Structure 1
Amino acid sequence: MNLFSAAFIIFIIALLVLYYTIFRKKQWVCLLLFSIAFYAYSGISNLIFMAVTGVSVFMGGIWLMRFSDQYHKIRKDKSIDRARRKEIKAAFDKKRRMILWTIIVINFGMLAVLKYLHPFFEGFLIPLGISFYMFISIGYLVDIYFEKYEAEKNPFRFLLFVSFFPQLIQGPINRYDQMKEQLYGRHTLDWYRCKRALILILFGLLKKYTIANLLVHEIANILDAPTEKTPGSAIVFAILLYSAQQYADFSGGIDIVMGVAELFGIKMMPNFRQPYFSVSLGDFWRRWHISLGAWMRDYVFYPFALTSPMQKFGKWAKKHLNVHFGRVLPASIANILVFFLVGIWHGSQWHFIFWGLYNGIVIAVSDICAPLFAKITERLHINVKSKAFYLFRIIRTFIIVNIGWYFDRIYDIRDCFLCMKNTIFNFQMSQLDEFLGPILKIMPTKAYVIVTVALCIVFADSVIKERGKDAITLLDNRPLVLRWLLYFGMIFMILESFNFAVDAGGFMYANY
């Protein structure tokens, strides 16, 4: 269901009316019914995979909680001696680990089969949002295992948590403890909240349709089939366009779904925080796809870094190398593992694996060499607190990120290295106009004006947020005429964009 289609608009209006009227005392039931209907619209068969995840994780959570409750009762029984209590705990822990890992293997095994075997089946599409609801579910199960909170006992309420339709499109990866009160509580219609939600949706549509969709073909015409004669200057130009396209597509989609959720009084986990103002690659990944980064940190990075072998390795490094290496080496290895897994999550193709390893290795080297970098800046008498150095760090990070986009966007790994070679040894700035001329003539000048204006709006919004201010609040304080000129201007640009990019496709992360 296209987010800018008549079907989706009717779907949302019908849901809003029923949510705040007939179902006002059971709003979660209304959300559940419409979420299942939304997912069924993407393909009835897709419900089978969601059912497997939902049922297995729900039952797993119940079993884990029961074993925990049984053990805690036994622990309070003073008639049982300490040795026997220890044996019982070991037995319960073994059962709980078996439940946890069985369900994890079933679900991630299913995800792996669907993601990595689908190229062999013509016409087969990965179920909508399967990675997102699976990550959400497994995160919930791990939290139950570590007794962070009690398991949900109502299977239909749990199904709503898994199937809540805005998060199925491309995230974010929500957490149960942050969502349960919002999903199952009662909400009243609040005009100010709805107005903010609609502005957020409008802003997301602007990003998606006037930037991402209008740039997709120009990027493809340069990067899909590069040759030895493709000038490096054109490749760099396309990569820069891709950095704008990907951000606009992904963050635009997140803005839309966040706005849709807020219409129903539900605030989902944020997923972006001005990533192109980052001062390091690590900072970038704390600002880009925040919910995935947090999930990987809590359920992969820390569990791996804190394993006995990693702790022993850290102690060895501290003893034989120095305190700094003892602290950062286990974390560096964990970071490389995390980004390797993120690369595989994007796809089994080699370019994604290289992209993941590139990010993990750069962050690891940065952490390991931090004392060396500090000494260099000290020797060069660089004021690390100056605005000039801050700007330098932003530009440096932007360049490092865009090098990574070579691996992300250029789908053939041989083409990727060819483009890197041309960028360094065959830049040919003088040939840029000649090479881009035929490509840029595909769309009229009006389309590029729309892209440029939209980019300026997005940049202005990012600057305002980076300064710790809220753009919508600032806009509310402006004259009514100015506000509506901006709103109608954005709507006009969105509608105009359909004349130039009618077949640009859906959201990039919709089938992850």
Structure 2
Amino acid sequence: MDFFSLGYILFVTVCLFLYYRVSKEYQWKILLLGNAFFYLVSGKWNIIFILTTSFSIYLGGIVIARISDRFKEEKKKLKLNRDEKKALKKKYQKYKRIVLYLLVVFNFGILSYMKYFHIVMGLNKGLVLPLGISFYTFQAVGYIIDVYGDKYPAERNFAKFILFISFFPQLIQGPINRYDKLEPQFSKEHAFDYENFKKSMLLILYGLMKKYAIANMLSDSISRVFDYEHTDASGALIVFGILMYSAQQYADFSGGIDVVLGVARLFDIEMMPNFRQPYFSVSLGDFWRRWHISLGAWMRDYVFYPFALTKTMQNFGKWCGKRFGKHFGRVLPAGIANILVFLIVGIWHGVSLHYVLWGLYNGVVIAISDLAQPLFDSISAKLNINTQSGKMHIFRIVRTFIIVNIGWYFDRIEDFGRCMRYMKKSFTQFEIRAFSEDLNDIILNPDVVKPIYVIGGMCISVIGIVAVFIISVLKEKEKDIYVLLTGRKHIFYEFAALFLLILIFSSFIFTTSTGGFLYANF
């Protein structure tokens, strides 16, 4: 069901009515029934995959918990010295580790098979991915790693566990939630609150505006620039295409997440945020702490730190420190871990070369920037540059925006040869004078599309982008948009909601594409 479809609106409305009409002990059961219905409607075979992941991880959590209990019981019964306690702990830790590894391999094996089997077998067409398989697999694996690490006890109620895995708002495109943050919210009593309803609806409308009035309006124009070889296209048009893709990518993904968070908030459930004004970042590392936050946090906790803190990497860091200095000894292992993380993130998007290169590009740039930080500090000191000034802050934002957009070349242009040619043209054959002609020949070509649809769509997208920019500036200054719109001196809530609705419905007039959310494919 699409977020803006009548079916989805009716489904959420019925769920909300039942959710707030029943007593506390039944509210989570209404959500569970809603999840089951939503998933069955999305495809009856999908339920097999989510049940397989849920049951295997649930059962694994119980087994790990019992191993831990057995260790505590045995340690209590036996009179052991310190070395014997260590040996006993090591023995039981080994059993837990075996269970963990089996579960991680099994569940990521299913995900890998579904996503990459056709590539390994050289087939042209891949398998149809079960709805949300990437997101609920990462969420489930994160849970079992936390149970293994004794972060919280294993859930003994399978119904409550599958509620955590299958919570319907998150299935289409995340975020990747944590059990210890969601489970307490499912268990407590929720009363309907009109202010919460208004705030949630505004967030949903804002997300839909991003998707329909920005992302969808730019989609076809971007495709016409990058999905066909244009040997005579100027660098200016290519750069324009990348800037459009930059807006589309953000509007599509963050817009979908806004809808997800808004729908969850209607049920009084607060989920993990996934975006925090990423295009105001001052470094590439800062960008990835603001973009797809839940995936970044997952990679940090379950890949980056476990890898960077291994004995091998720690010894490597000490070796580097002795030969190249303390800074290299501290930063180099982290740099290698970052490259590994972004390689995995690239492969998660797909095993195509352009995704791998996109991941490596981000990992290598972050690693090099961390290694070169003392050099940057030294240059700034010699040139008497005030690194805390407003002008320097703006420079860093612009610099980061350029670095991020260079990465989007690898992400969007699937053919490596074309990607390199287009990137070279962007720097060596910008030719601003040829831009108007290229715009007419490629994007506004009347043989392909009616120019009025493209021009109208771009006008709507520009209005949407300006609105997003203003809201992002206010958020960056830590202003609460809802408070600004509903405060005593600012009665603009209805105007804002009407403005968003007008943009959304206006976009339907000019739309030439009805594609789904980009990240639903991952």
Please say whether Structure 1 and Structure 2 have the same fold, judged by a TM-score greater than 0.5. yes
Inter-partner Cα distance in structure 2 for 1:123 and 1:323: 48
**Aligned-residue offset at 1:444:** 5.0
Q: Partner residue of 1:309?
A: 312
Kindly provide the amino acid, as one letter, of the partner of residue 90 in structure 2.
A
Partner of 1:413: 416
Report the aligned-residue RMSD.
1.5
Q: 5 Å matches for 1:156-171?
A: 156-171=159-174
The answer to whether the 8 Å contact 1:74/1:85 transfers is no
| Cα displacement (A) at 1:443 | 1.8
TM-superposition CA deviations, 1:384-429 (whole Å, max 9, x none) = 1111111000000000000000001111112111111111222221
| Aligned counterpart in structure 2 of residue 180 of structure 1, from 180, 183, 187 | 183
Quote the residue 2:142 is aligned against.
139
Q: Distance in 2 between matches of 1:261 and 1:84?
A: 49
Q: Distance in 2 between matches of 1:506 and 1:282?
A: 29
Cα deviations across residues 426-471 of structure 1 (Å, max 9, x unaligned)?
2221110000024132625332221111111111110000001111
Corresponding residue number in structure 2 for 1:345: 348
The 8 Å contact of residues 197 and 266 in structure 2, kept in 1 or not, is answered as: yes
Deviates more, 1:378-387 or 1:433-442: 433-442
Quote the offset at 1:486 in angstroms.
2.6
Q: Give me the whole-angstrom Cα distance separating, in 2, the residues matched to 1:87 and 1:445.
A: 72
Is 1:227 matched up with 2:230?
yes
Helix, strand or coil at the partner of 1:498? helix
Aligned mate of 2:482, from 465, 469, 472:
472
* Map 1:428-439 → 2, pairs under 5 A: 428-438=431-441, 439=443
Counterpart Cα distance in 2 of 1:85 and 1:481: 66
Partner AA of 2:301 in structure 1: D
> How far apart, CA to CA, are the structure 1 residues paired with 2:455 and 2:365?
39
Aligned counterpart for 2:404 among listed residues 401, 404, 416: 401
Asked if 1:385 is matched to 2:423, the reply is: no
Q: For 2:70 and 2:420, how far apart are their aligned partners in 1?
A: 58
- Aligned: 1:244 with 2:247: yes
CA contact (8 A) 2:214 2:465 kept: yes
1:496 pairs with one of 481, 498, 506: 506
Query: What is the DSSP-based 3-state SS (H/G/I as helix, E as strand, rest coil) of the residue aligned with 1:443?
Result: helix
Instruction: Report whether the alignment pairs 1:202 with 2:205.
Output: yes
Deviating more after overlay: 480-489 vs 140-149: 480-489
Q: Deviations over 1:167-206 (max 9, x none)?
A: 1111111001111111122200011111100000000000
Aligned AA for 2:465?
L
Equivalent residue for 1:354? 357
**C-alpha separation in 2, matches of 1:290 and 1:8:** 26
Q: TM-score, normalised by structure 2?
A: 0.95
Please, what TM-score do these two structures have when normalized by structure 1?
A: 0.97
Aligned to 1:483: 493
Quote the offset at 1:478 in angstroms.
6.5
1:290-342 C-alpha deviation (Å, 9 max, x unpaired): 00000000000000000011000000011111000010000000000000000
Provide the C-alpha distance between the structure 2 equivalents of 1:123 and 1:317, rounded to a whole number of angstroms. Answer: 44
Picking from 323, 336, 341, the partner of 2:339 is: 336
Aligned length: 512
Q: After alignment, is 478-487 or 226-235 more displaced? A: 478-487
Farther-moved stretch of structure 1 (219-228 vs 85-94) = 85-94
Deviation at 1:118, TM superposition (A): 4.5
Letter in 2 for 1:248: A
Once the two structures are superposed, the pairs formed by residues 293-308 of structure 1 within 5 Å of their partners are 293-308=296-311
Residue identity opposite 1:408 in structure 2: D
Once the 2 structures are TM-superposed, how far is the Cα of residue 260 of structure 1 from its aligned partner?
Answer: 0.2
What secondary structure sits across from 1:171 in the alignment?
coil
